[in-house]
Structure 1
């Protein structure tokens, strides 16, 4: 209309969402879990979260060979559209595997905040180190990962904080809920052989302020640099962790500082529980395992990431670390 004042429309930023994340001891896994609502109506399921893969899946009826989970199997016949002609197969680094058919259904990440169409896998042949969880959700870089599918609703990028104990609560956040705290230090993502994985350049490792070499970080651990204490006894290895101690009778144990230095100068100081993995007082191990191959890509595991805010800034192709994100 002539003479009418111009009206500027400012695009509304995508609304973010944040979910609680926990250490999965209650369901028999040392990995981290979250609860999501899958189906119409939504059914709550506890799933592992994994940044090293894209495929999200839950165990479904009918199941040919499934591991024992804590909840009844998801029944796709009640709500979702399954494509029995389209199959998926995932094999993980620990030789766990998940095979099944592709399905589509609504995914609820928080109250009244659902993705109306979420593509996932219905597992019918699954085995491995999944504990009693109902499945696994991939947070990798590919198009089928949860962050990629959620980006259309919540915006690109996500962050999380992994708590240090089963009794503490962390979080997994998407979009606007994944803002970086003020103390975040960023380093650029690097290229790597697997397009679905996130890569960083680790340039140095410091123990008690002293630089002890360049990657791979497990090598310094093989030198048996024990946490300082008097008369610390060695303990048997725990799975892949070969440097373990018996702290029975110790009233005070001093754990040396461990800092990871990434390209661009970002320095991550590990929490004490990011240095030591405590199985029991009599079997506490350095939380680093050897790859046994200097040419292999090393993994920054969930033990080292405990209590840190880890921010995946997809738009700027960088990853940030902030101290004291959760307990």
Structure 2
């Protein structure tokens, strides 16, 4: 019998323990918003000792990028050979990564993201919190999780962040790899919050309120494919079609011959709109606001339309302002942005429309930013190639922090340790192979956890 290291003991006692994949039905990643950058940060566990690791969330990112110049990360990542099945699968056409292998039979798999980041492909242990069907809380681990290893991973400037967590449409994003490893559905949910948010993958129920699971009553729209232009979003980004925009029910005068796309992004704090659309939206919103008695004040950067807060009414769901409807594939499918999502209070003298001019070189017509995505339950369905979204939870007197609290309150009673391997078949498909099993048991009458081989 060998005692566990003290820091691992604390990790297991505080957060729970590793579980068999067949019981890891719901995988949970807690989210927090970095106050200085307004980026969202997720916590995972990485390395042989499964130390906590904070990563900036990249909704459309193709992979997990780590800063391997840090000894704690670099030493725990094994390089993947260039001519391996893993390298070929990770750099397929639809992955959002490109292979950049030097000559030589023993070269490592070099990768380059469409955004310009370059590094090498590696593999290492990664674990996330999980909850099984009985409500027992645990940590589920993948022994050979594929990682893009850079000398300086893009962390978006958030304090203490060791890289980025890619959730995009690629074969080595976190949702793809955990779906394969643990046999859960190829989908995940995101609920961003200014306080405590959550990412959830697996089987439900997930987001229950008054005995109703809100995730069962979402509105769905198909995921779209990026246009083949020099300014296109990444292949791994999440895009949906936009038919029109309405302000208080009145359609904006837009050029209907142009294709419109909405990109979802947690990397920018506020929605960016291409200049021609922004001009029409700002003018229409200001006109509708004036009709409601809202008084304009000088704009406060980066916003272009601001109002005197004393002239803005209030409702239980937030500021009483003109409603913005994004009309998606048909008039019957709309994403409504109400006052709690559209307005930003910047000072005692100004509250502003939280939409910025994205210029003429924006990759999509609209990039929905973090503020507009907060307190909206989002389902990214890989298998069905669709996006589900709820109304603003503020209309139900809820927030994403309510759901985070539900997961936090679940108890851990069972402790199992499993190490999984992700392999690749001849056709490039991934499969799961159990490589090691152990059991962690609590000693009778003590608080010590021991590892039994």
TM-score, normalized by the shorter chain, greater than 0.5 = yes
Matched, 1:225 2:298: no
Q: Which of residues 182, 188, 200 in structure 1 aligns to 2:216?
A: 182
The alignment yields a C-alpha RMSD, in angstroms, of 2.9
Distance 1:46 1:295 in 2: 29
In the alignment, does 2:186 pair up with 1:159?
Answer: no
The 3 A distance-change label for structure 1 pair 158 and 128 is closer
Equivalence map 1:40-59=2 (5 Å): 40-59=48-67
1:305 to 373, 385, 407: 373
Tell me the residue number matched to 1:35. Answer: 43
Distance change in 2, residues 1:201/1:219 (3 Å): farther
- Between stretches 289-298 and 44-53, larger displacement belongs to 289-298
1:104 and 1:80 mapped to 2: Cα distance? 5
Question: Residues 127 and 317 of structure 1: is their aligned pair in 2 closer, same or farther, counting only changes over 3 Å?
Answer: closer
The equivalent residue for 1:76 is 74
- Shift, 1:157, TM fit: 0.6
Distance 1:309 1:101, change over 3 A: same
Gap change, CA 1:235 and 1:295, over 3 Å in 2: closer
Asked if 1:247 is matched to 2:308, the reply is yes
Deviations 1:168-223 (A, max 9, x none): 32211112148662331111122223431222111122212222245565343342
Alpha-carbon spacing, 1:14–1:41, altered in 2? closer, same or farther (3 Å): closer
Q: Does the C-alpha gap of structure 1 residues 211 and 294 become closer, same or farther in structure 2, counting only changes over 3 Å?
A: farther
Give the whole-Å Cα distance in 2 for the aligned partners of 1:229 and 1:176: 47
Q: Please report the TM-score for the alignment, with normalisation by the length of structure 1.
A: 0.78
> For the residues of structure 2 that align with 1:49 and 1:169, how far apart are their CA atoms?
14
Q: Tell me which protein shows more helix as a share of its residues.
A: 2
Distance 1:248 1:197, change over 3 A: closer
The question of whether the paired residues in 2 share the 8 Å contact of 1:103 and 1:119 is answered with yes
Looking at structure 2, the residues matched to 114 and 307 of structure 1 have their Cα atoms a distance apart, in angstroms, of 29
1:281-314 CA distances to partner (integer Å, 9 max, x unpaired)? 4454322233333884232222222211111122
2:111 is equivalent to residue 88 of structure 1: yes
Residue of structure 2 equivalent to 1:68: none
Whole-Å separation in 1 of the counterparts to 2:282 and 2:310: 25
Decide which of 192, 205, 225 is 2:226's aligned counterpart.
192
Q: Report the CA distance between 1:126 and its aligned residue.
A: 4.5
CA change 1:42–1:151 in 2 (3 A) is same
Question: In the alignment, does 2:27 pair up with 1:17?
Answer: yes
Equivalent residue, structure 2, for 1:103: 122
1:69 alignment partner in structure 2: none
> How far apart, in 2, do the equivalents of 1:254 and 1:183 lie?
25
Q: How does 1:257-268 map to 2 (within 5 A)?
A: 257-264=323-330, 265-268=332-335
Is the aligned partner of 1:130 residue 2:197? no
Could you tell me whether the CA contact under 8 Å between 1:107 and 1:116 is conserved in 2? yes
State the match for 1:269 in structure 2. Answer: 336
2:448 is aligned to none
- Once the 2 structures are TM-superposed, how far is the Cα of residue 224 of structure 1 from its aligned partner? 6.5
Calculate the TM-score normalised by the size of structure 2.
0.58
Q: Whose radius of gyration is greater, 1 or 2?
A: 2
Q: Give yes or no for contact 2:44–2:53 (8 Å, CA) kept in 1.
A: yes
What residue number does 1:141 align with?
169
Say whether the 8 Å CA contact 1:87–1:99 is kept in structure 2.
Answer: yes
Measure, in 2, the Cα distance between the counterparts of 1:230 and 1:301.
25
- Paired with 1:300 and 1:85, the residues of 2 have a C-alpha distance of 37
Are the equivalent residues in 2 in contact too, given 1:100–1:122 (CA < 8 A)? yes
Runs of 5+ consecutive residues of structure 2 not aligned to the other structure: 1-21, 81-106, 130-137, 207-213, 228-233, 255-259, 261-273, 314-318, 401-453
Distance in 2 between the 1:51 and 1:101 partners? Answer: 21
